[in-house]
């Protein structure tokens, strides 16, 4: 029996190349486009009239002027921090000790982990994010909770047990051996199961001994299709602390590199204050830099130099970093990336912002073609964006002379109200 085909009609916008290399012309916009979906996958994209004629049996969903886009891909966040988002007044180290660690301690309780995982994924769907990359807590049950909640919604999830064996409270500390063994068990349970990808997760060098970093480096060698995520050079005080803890290291990145934790499938959150050697090595290995602009302004970390990193040819993704980041909306994250670009005298084009939140993040996750794109064969993880979701946005987009001017007010001023519909693997989850 044939599966049901669904033909979505609306405005469409797809990338034909990398807008950082080729400019905004590396896109195709159709004011009356179509996306044909069957069995949770995109079968074909094109013009509405042509696809209607070619597939008269398809069930038609007409989204009018709504802009059909791939769902956003958040390349770095902390689901256990959902409940303590927007905590006032501290910078990184004090923020972790005062707000973050006490909240993460609650995840020893599996029922609480389930509740927050469900809450986080529902907030993501409401905000048009269809794939998340998350740190969990040191508790293996926090990883089970995240992947189970993602599986229940059919979502692509990238996550791992956060490992810490020093400079953390006792109730949030593991050991080099238990971090390795628990992570290994979780890899066997979840990696490659459905849409789950396991991410080996040392929190950052200050909370791992050299022995723990080495044990996780060995685990990565044994499981090379896993990703690895951590934090790198977020705040100046943190970098000074790392230099004191690892006196032999050439720089912060070297603490990871020396322990087998630098690689193409590595995701390095923040990466703001990079030394030239660090930037060179990250580019040489093709590692993923994950820009977290709402977090960087909220925690006061610094200004990511997008122009310099693009010129070097780095692989870059975009992320909310909630609850260090102050919004669940990747629209707000794109807006913050634009504002930081402005402070660096580099106005980032809306095509580039959109690319970072979809294809760019998918590429750092080595999931390009599967997520972050609407093309034949990719997952039908899609959103319909309302480009006139509030009076202020509507009056500005009404004056637009092209799709970028129509979209930019939503990037700067939009929130969950702009997400008219969210589909995960073809299934409608919002709207
Ligand atoms: N560095 C180490 N842990 C964290 C965290 O939870 N959030 C942020 N923003 N930075 C970190
Ligand atoms: Zn983080």
Clarify whether residues 84 and 167 are in a common domain.
yes
Q: Which domain holds residue 22?
A: 5-71+372-430
Q: Which atom of ligand 1 is nearest to the CA of 234?
A: 10
pTM of structure: 0.98
In angstroms, what CA-CA distances link 373 with 206, 225, 328, 402?
36, 21, 21, 22
Nearest ligand 1 atom to the CA of 323 is 7
User: Which atom of ligand 1 lies closest to the CA of 204?
Assistant: 2
Q: Examine the fold and report which residue of 341, 364, 387 is the final residue of a domain before the chain moves on.
A: 364
* Residue among 238, 269, 320 whose CB has most ligand 1 atoms within 8 A, to mutate: 269
pLDDT at 3: 74
- The low-confidence residues of the chain, meaning pLDDT below 50, are 1
Q: Specify the length of the chain in residues.
A: 431
- Please indicate, yes or no, whether residues 379 and 261 belong to a single structural domain of this protein: no
Say which ligand is closest to the CA of 324.
1
pLDDT at res. 2: 61
> Which atom of ligand 1 is nearest the CA belonging to 301?
9
For the CA of 300, the nearest ligand: 1
248-258 per-residue burial string, b: 16 or more CB within 10 A, e: under 16: ebebbbbbbbb
Question: Does 108 share its domain with 173?
Answer: yes
Q: How far is the CA of 51 from the centre of ligand 1 (A)?
A: 47
- Indicate whether 53 and 193 sit together in one domain: no
Query: Last residue of a domain, which of 364, 389, 411?
Result: 364
List pLDDT tens digits, range 208-249.
999 999 999 999 999 999 999 999 999 999 999 999 999 999
pLDDT the model gives residue 374: 97
In sequence order, what DSSP letters do the residues of 264-294 get, joined into one string? TTEEEEE--S--HHHHHHHHHHTPEEEE-HH
Which pLDDT score, from 0 to 100, does residue 126 have?
Answer: 99
Contact 37, 5 (CB under 8 A): yes
| Pocket lining for ligand 1, CB < 6 angstroms | 78, 92, 96, 100, 203-204, 231, 234, 295, 299, 321, 324
Regarding an ipTM greater than 0.95, the answer is yes
State the total domains in the chain.
2
Q: List, as ranges, residues with CB under 5 A of the ion ligand 2.
A: 269, 321
């Amino acid at each position: 029996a044939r599966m049901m085909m669904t033909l979505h009609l609306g405005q469409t916008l797809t990338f034909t190349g990398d807008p950082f290399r080729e400019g905004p012309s590396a896109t195709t916009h159709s004011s009356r486009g179509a996306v044909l979906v069957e069995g949770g996958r995109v079968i074909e994209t094109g013009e509405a009239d042509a696809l209607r004629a070619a597939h008269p049996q398809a069930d038609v969903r007409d989204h009018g002027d709504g802009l059909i886009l791939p769902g956003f891909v958040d390349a770095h966040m902390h689901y256990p921090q959902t409940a303590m988002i927007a905590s006032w007044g501290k910078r990184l180290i004090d923020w972790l000790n005062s707000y973050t660690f006490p909240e993460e301690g609650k995840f020893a309780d599996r029922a609480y982990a389930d509740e927050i995982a469900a809450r986080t994924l529902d907030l993501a769907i409401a905000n048009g994010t269809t794939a998340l990359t998350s740190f969990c807590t040191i508790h293996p049950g926090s990883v089970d909770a995240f992947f189970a909640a993602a599986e229940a919604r059919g979502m692509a999830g990238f996550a791992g047990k956060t490992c810490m064996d020093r400079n953390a409270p006792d109730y949030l500390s593991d050991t080099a051996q238990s971090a390795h063994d628990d992570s290994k068990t979780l890899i066997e349970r979840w990696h490659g199961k459905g849409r789950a990808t396991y991410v080996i997760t040392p929190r950052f060098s200050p909370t791992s001994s050299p022995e723990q970093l080495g044990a996780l480096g060995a685990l990565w060698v044994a499981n090379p299709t896993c990703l690895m995520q951590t934090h790198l050079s977020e705040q100046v005080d943190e970098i000074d602390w790392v230099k004191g803890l690892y006196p032999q290291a050439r720089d912060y990145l070297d603490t990871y590199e020396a322990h087998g934790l630098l690689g193409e499938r590595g995701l390095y959150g923040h990466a703001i204050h990079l030394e030239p050697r660090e930037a060179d090595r990250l580019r040489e290995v093709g590692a993923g830099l994950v820009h977290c602009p709402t977090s960087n302004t909220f925690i006061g970390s610094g200004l990511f130099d997008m122009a310099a990193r693009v010129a070097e040819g780095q692989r870059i993704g975009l992320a909310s970093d909630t609850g260090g980041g102050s919004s669940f909306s990747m629209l707000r994250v794109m807006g913050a990336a634009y504002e930081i670009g402005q402070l660096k005298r580099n106005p980032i084009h809306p095509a580039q912002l959109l690319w970072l939140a979809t294809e760019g993040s998918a590429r750092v996750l080595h999931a390009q073609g599967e997520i972050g794109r609407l093309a034949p064969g990719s997952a039908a993880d899609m959103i319909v964006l309302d480009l006139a979701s509030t009076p202020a946005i509507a009056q500005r987009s009404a004056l637009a002379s092209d799709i970028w001017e129509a979209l930019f007010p939503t990037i700067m001023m939009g929130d969950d109200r702009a997400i008219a519909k969210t589909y995960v693997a073809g299934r409608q989850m919002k709207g």
